[in-house]
Amino acid sequence: MDTNKAKEIAKEIFNEIKKQIVEGKKKKGVDHPYYSNTAAYFQTDSIYDRAVNKYVDYIRVGKKEFRGMEDTNDIQQISNIVVYLLNEQKKVKGWKNLVFTTRDFRELRGSGWNQYWKNYSILENIYLLDNPCKDFVSIQKFLLKYANYNLADFKLFSVRMGGKRGRLYDEEGDRYYLANKEKKCAGILEELRKHRGTNDTITCQYGEEEYIDELERRYSSYHETECDGEKRSYLAITIKTPAGKVKYQTKIY
């Protein structure tokens, strides 16, 4: 696709994303476990076009469709431009908490002896989050003071995943960030303060995991059925006594 054409489509998509997020902000207060009213979604699909007698790719944001893409190369190009525009938008007042996710793909391209595997990422979900809650900020200050660990605002989250045969494949629904979970942050802060002694040492280790209940995993694997789980971007915190004995461990996400 011509670069100018890609930029034109990307700009239209970017404006639609902003429009949906602004409209969602006005409706704040809608409560649904799998819907964030300050989110927009970059979705790709294909449709049969009778004019050219073939399937063509398109991008959808909400109910609005954007066409003109010939293949996944075009979609990747447009996605990259929209990601750039989103990063620039984060510099604008009121948009610093703009967070977005991408999805990784691996596709066999070319033909014959010229076939090769191409890895690429496509934009997926876009969120404009609230500022971190008071107790999350207190957790950040606690970890910086006692563990010398600088916890980023929106690094920790959980999201539902679906799968089959005991394996998880895709995120389903929105990510829920610890920074915006007021009650959970209050509980975490209380536990950290309760277990830390004057001369104790605290260490932090960031990690990611895909969690699935072991009984469900076995059942799904044996019966070849669908299963549910959760992806977690977490921080493992360990508190040790001056003698090196572990007195408290937890994962926060």
Burial class (CB in 10 A: 0-12, 13-18, 19+), 224: exposed
Residue 143 CA, chain-centre distance (Å), reads 24
Q: Domain limits of the chain?
A: 3-128, 134-252
Strand, helix or coil for residue 12: helix
The Cβ of residue 113 has, within 10 Å, a number of other Cβ atoms equal to 5
pLDDT, tens digit (0-9, with 9 covering 90-100), for 88-145: 999 999 999 999 999 888 877 777 888 888 888 999 999 999 999 999 999 999 999 9
pLDDT attached to residue 186: 98
Residue at 223: amino acid letter: H
Please, which residues have CB within 8 angstroms of residue 21's CB and are 6 or more apart in sequence? Answer: 38, 39, 40, 126, 128
Q: What percent of the chain has pLDDT above 70?
A: 93
pLDDT, tens digit (0-9, with 9 covering 90-100), for 157-182: 999 998 888 888 888 888 999 999 99
pLDDT band at 48 (very low <50, low <70, confident <90, very high): low
